[in-house]
Amino acid sequence: MNYSVKIIGDVARSPRLRPYIGYVCGIAAAAIYGGMAVLGKKIATDFSSPLVASSFSLFFGLIITGLLFGQGIVREATSLPKVGWVSILGAGTASAFGVSCWYLALASAPVVVVAPVVAVYPLVTISLAIIFLKDLEEVTRRTFVAAGLVVLGVILVGIGS
């Protein structure tokens, strides 16, 4: 596993291949999140309360990430500036609340309602990127149209399934 992570790291350093690795990682993350939604519905309705499910899934996620990337994490963490730590704390807190709300929503409402509502999040991300990441990335009209199409598509899939 560490070897494959190293290969991905080496390939990602190639400027020509960087975007493609980004797309592949994004699609892999989408597939994993998709599987998590199915599993999450089962866990939050059949086995445990949403808060227990979210707490333990985040806990196990921390352990697995630590085991896989432990050395790299320690190396990078020692050279991280204070603003980096604040940003990570913010991202972690947002992630924890997001996952908890997601399990709560899945436990109390049908997936057909939850999925379309959650699907609107790329529009929120793009809006925040325009406000806060002006210097780091350019949001084109093409990305906006793509986000609209995906949101519409996800809503239709949610209603139809």
Partner 1 sequence: MNFTSIRLIGASKSAVIISTSPLFAGAIAIMFSNESINVLVAIGTFFIIAGIMLVVTKR
Query: Site residues (CB under 8 A) for partner 1?
Result: 8, 12, 18-19, 21-23, 25-38, 111, 115, 119, 121-122, 125-126, 128-129, 133, 136-137, 139, 142-143, 145-161
As measured in angstroms, the least distance from the Cβ of 137 to partner 1 is 4
As measured in angstroms, the least distance from the Cβ of 55 to partner 1 is 20
Cβ atoms 106, 44 nearer than 8 A: yes
Toward partner 1, which CB reaches closer, 51 or 145? 145
Toward partner 1, which CB reaches closer, 74 or 149? 149
- Alpha carbon of 45 to those of 23, 36, 59, 112: distances in Å? 33, 14, 20, 15
DSSP string of 107-124, one letter each residue: HHS-HHHHHHHHTTHHHH
* CA gap 93, 101 in Å, rounded: 12
As measured in angstroms, the least distance from the Cβ of 150 to partner 1 is 4
Toward partner 1, which CB reaches closer, 95 or 108? 95
As measured in angstroms, the least distance from the Cβ of 27 to partner 1 is 6
* CA gap 84, 90 in Å, rounded: 10
Toward partner 1, which CB reaches closer, 42 or 52? 42
As measured in angstroms, the least distance from the Cβ of 108 to partner 1 is 18
Cβ atoms 52, 100 nearer than 8 A: no
Toward partner 1, which CB reaches closer, 6 or 18? 18
* CA gap 65, 10 in Å, rounded: 19
